[in-house]
C-alpha cells in the first residue's frame, strides 16, 4: 500500500497531471483534447500521461488513430481510505489535546 500511495502522491505532485485528472473527472477525453490547453510539446505531455497510466490512475483505449483516456477509480478509492484513516487519527489527537488544554484552564483558575 505504501508504494501505491507514494506513486499516487508523486503523480499528483505535478500541476499538469492534476489538470488532466480534473478534466477526466468530467468524462473520457482523447489525448489531443487533454493536450490542447497545455503549452508544451506533445512528447512532453505524453510523459505526463505515462506517469498517470503507470500509477493506474488513468487508463486509455486506442481505436484507430484516437487514444481515449479515462480515470480508473481504484487508486483514488485506496487513497481516499488512507486519507480518511489519517483524518480520524489526527482528529482524535487534536480532540485529546483540546481536552487536555481545557482541563488545564480549569486548574489555572
pLDDT bracket for residue 107 (50, 70, 90): low
Q: What angle do CA 36, 75, 38 make, to 5 degrees?
A: 10
d(CA 35, CA 69): 11
The domain that contains 73 carries what CATH number?
Answer: 1.10.10.10
The answer, as to whether pTM is greater than 0.85, is no
Give the total number of structural domains in the chain. 1
Instruction: Strands of the chain (E only): list them.
Output: 29-30, 58-63, 66-71
Residue 108 reports pLDDT greater than 60: no
d(CA 5, CA 51): 14
The domain of 88 spans 2-108
Each residue's pLDDT tens digit, 47-105: 999 999 999 999 999 999 999 999 998 888 888 888 888 888 888 888 777 777 777 66
Q: Which pLDDT does position 106 carry in this prediction? A: 60
Each residue's pLDDT tens digit, 6-61: 888 899 999 999 999 999 999 999 999 999 999 999 999 999 999 999 999 999 99
Q: Which pLDDT does position 92 carry in this prediction? A: 80
Dihedral, 19, 35, 28, 62 alpha carbons, nearest 10: -140
Q: Which pLDDT does position 53 carry in this prediction? A: 96
Amino acid at each position: 500500500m505504501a508504494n501505491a500511495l507514494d506513486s499516487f502522491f508523486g503523480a499528483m505532485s505535478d500541476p499538469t497531471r492534476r489538470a488532466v485528472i480534473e478534466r477526466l473527472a468530467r468524462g473520457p477525453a482523447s489525448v489531443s483534447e487533454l493536450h490542447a490547453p497545455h503549452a508544451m510539446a506533445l512528447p512532453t505531455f505524453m510523459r505526463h500521461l505515462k506517469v498517470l497510466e503507470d500509477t493506474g490512475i488513468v487508463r486509455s483505449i486506442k481505436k484507430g488513430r484516437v487514444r481515449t483516456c479515462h480515470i480508473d477509480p481504484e487508486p483514488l478509492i485506496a487513497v481516499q481510505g488512507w486519507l480518511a484513516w489519517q483524518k480520524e487519527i489526527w482528529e482524535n489527537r487534536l480532540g485529546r489535546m483540546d481536552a487536555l488544554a481545557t482541563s488545564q484552564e480549569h486548574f489555572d483558575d
